[in-house]
Structure 1
């Protein structure tokens, strides 16, 4: 069986496991049995640079929801979120001049503590909008991830401004789960479910509010450290790595071409082809390997059905996906999934 990239769908810092544990404890429960079930030991928890896969984090969150009986665990996590829980980027954001600049800083350096290969968060400073991209399609395992991120960003703005009404509107992609009243009470603004994207619409005056924790000198120093860490992460990337990073979010009901990926990388198609030739690889092989790695993660670590996975990876339909999966792993997706997900 061919080797595949670890955490193809993405990963998240163990710092967020501490937030989850605090939220579960705040609800009167102990998360230790769930940590044990998912192989989360003390050594891992005490290693700030350690990460776990996003699907593993999703399943752990679902287990915590079942343990507490609290469907809005993500909101509880957001309420208990502190800037330091985002690591260095959180500290840099906390010391920014304004609340809006602080949130923009956390989002700009999100790669330091999480990586979603299917899309990236971004902050629109003109429209005062913070957008979050989640692994899709949605199911009971990933609702809480959206909730916790959006609530965590909201709590950050509240902490920086000492105000509760910091938002004009919240948009959430997944359908209303019967919790609209609870969400609108928590966010203190209208919430739209089934939206085109996940985003917070921040009140302009809040975005411009001077941060209570502002410290210009420390902000510059911390941003420099963030930049240095980001360069270390990306510094070892080959052209192949850059192509894989662009390919993954583009595999969404379509099969991207070399020309499209080259445009995303800001280079001419022939330049990209020449650089790949220098690394002794071909675009079609990278496309195949990227699909293979994602397919294995989707099959082994999520509950998505074969038709959904086939569409997400740009196959013409389930038969084409089945054929490719057998070529990659010597078995069908169903045979591969059964031992991992009894």
Structure 2
């Protein structure tokens, strides 16, 4: 079963987009979805449709002359405009938590209620607490607006839960650095990093132990049981190929994921993973090669980065090795492909 996203989250995103001046029906029409598809609040759309939703939002922001800020950071604006119901039962469970750390743990535990393939982690190392989200993709990296929405929600929700005007130690984003960072600086007021493996927020670890004003152990226990029941109703979200492709996509952003590393993350011995892939007619090296090809096409067409940087992001030790691989895939050099794109 493919990864899916809650209709309630889609509704919240479209409402926020409408608040920022975009036409929700127009966005749905671009996805070939009727407004009636949102009437089933327990329904879900595919991850691919969710990515297309953000792409449609981005395209309509670029084309519009609406009352948006000059920076065009629509994902940040939408997060600010979003209503509390965006988080649904997950939000209620987080609000009833004893402290921010416990709230983040619930976010990790119940995130599949919103998006079955989204990879959340929460960890504390020394004086730093770190909450992350990697957006799954079997081909293209997520767009800027989706990453902005994720990062902004991390910060805004933390401020709402604690009642403090929290300033992160650092914010990290999977997407590339925008030309205008004024909206980022205004909202986050912290150091920023782009082209990261995950979207992340880093906080002073002392902050996550502060009691939350709405902490309610009894209500928290009830909401936990309800959330667990909802999780149990969700179908299995990923096939083996989906899982391997997702991990390759995440690992290739500046790394070189090995068969052993991928197998370990999936709970298999390397030989077992290779055998399972052979059973479905492929191999680790074939999937790696295909993922590199797809990502290279995206980077060369869409990202304003040097060919040497593309080679690094795809895990090639030398630019010349990337040139040879790309010519094998496409029949032309990376430079020739970029000029003709």
TM-score normalized with structure 1 length: 0.69
Q: Is 1:47–2:40 an aligned residue pair?
A: yes
Equivalent residue, structure 2, for 1:327: none
Equivalent residue, structure 2, for 1:170: 170
**21, 33, 56: which one aligns with 2:52:** 56
Once the two structures are TM-superposed, the CA of residue 128 in structure 1 deviates from its matched residue by 1.7
For the residue of structure 2 that corresponds to 1:122, the secondary structure is strand
Distance in 2 between residues matched to 1:134 and 1:38, nearest whole Å: 20
Distance in 2 between residues matched to 1:11 and 1:207, nearest whole Å: 30
Equivalent residue, structure 1, for 2:11: 18
Distance in 2 between residues matched to 1:11 and 1:293, nearest whole Å: 21
Residues 136 and 250 in structure 2, CA contact (< 8 A), matched pair in contact too: no
Deviation larger for 233-242 or 198-207? 233-242
Residues 19 and 77 in structure 1, CA contact (< 8 A), matched pair in contact too: no
Residues 61 and 141 in structure 1, CA contact (< 8 A), matched pair in contact too: no
Distance in 1 between residues matched to 2:115 and 2:21, nearest whole Å: 28
Equivalent residue, structure 1, for 2:102: 101
Residues 24 and 64 in structure 1, CA contact (< 8 A), matched pair in contact too: no
Q: Residue 288 and residue 192 in structure 1: after superposition, are their counterparts in 2 closer, same or farther (change >3 A)? A: same
Distance in 2 between residues matched to 1:55 and 1:168, nearest whole Å: 27
Once the two structures are TM-superposed, the CA of residue 241 in structure 1 deviates from its matched residue by 6.0
Equivalent residue, structure 2, for 1:322: 330
Equivalent residue, structure 1, for 2:266: 265
Q: Residue 24 and residue 214 in structure 1: after superposition, are their counterparts in 2 closer, same or farther (change >3 A)? A: same
Residues 150 and 199 in structure 2, CA contact (< 8 A), matched pair in contact too: no
For the residue of structure 2 that corresponds to 1:128, the secondary structure is strand
Distance in 1 between residues matched to 2:142 and 2:262, nearest whole Å: 31
Post-superposition CA distance 1:242-285 (Å, at most 9, x none): 555544534557775543333333443344456x28x944661x
Equivalent residue, structure 1, for 2:319: none
Equivalent residue, structure 2, for 1:121: 120
Q: Residue 290 and residue 200 in structure 1: after superposition, are their counterparts in 2 closer, same or farther (change >3 A)? A: same
Distance in 2 between residues matched to 1:11 and 1:303, nearest whole Å: 28
For the residue of structure 2 that corresponds to 1:125, the secondary structure is strand
For the residue of structure 1 that corresponds to 2:168, the secondary structure is strand
Distance in 2 between residues matched to 1:246 and 1:29, nearest whole Å: 34
For the residue of structure 1 that corresponds to 2:207, the secondary structure is helix
Structure 2 unaligned spans of 5+: 317-321, 332-336
Post-superposition CA distance 1:192-214 (Å, at most 9, x none): 24475643222444322222332
Distance in 2 between residues matched to 1:19 and 1:206, nearest whole Å: 28
Post-superposition CA distance 1:36-65 (Å, at most 9, x none): 233232222223432242430231221342
Structure 1 unaligned spans of 5+: 324-332
Post-superposition CA distance 1:139-171 (Å, at most 9, x none): 9982221211111122212221223x1123332
Residues 13 and 50 in structure 1, CA contact (< 8 A), matched pair in contact too: yes
Equivalent residue, structure 1, for 2:61: 65
Equivalent residue, structure 2, for 1:37: 30
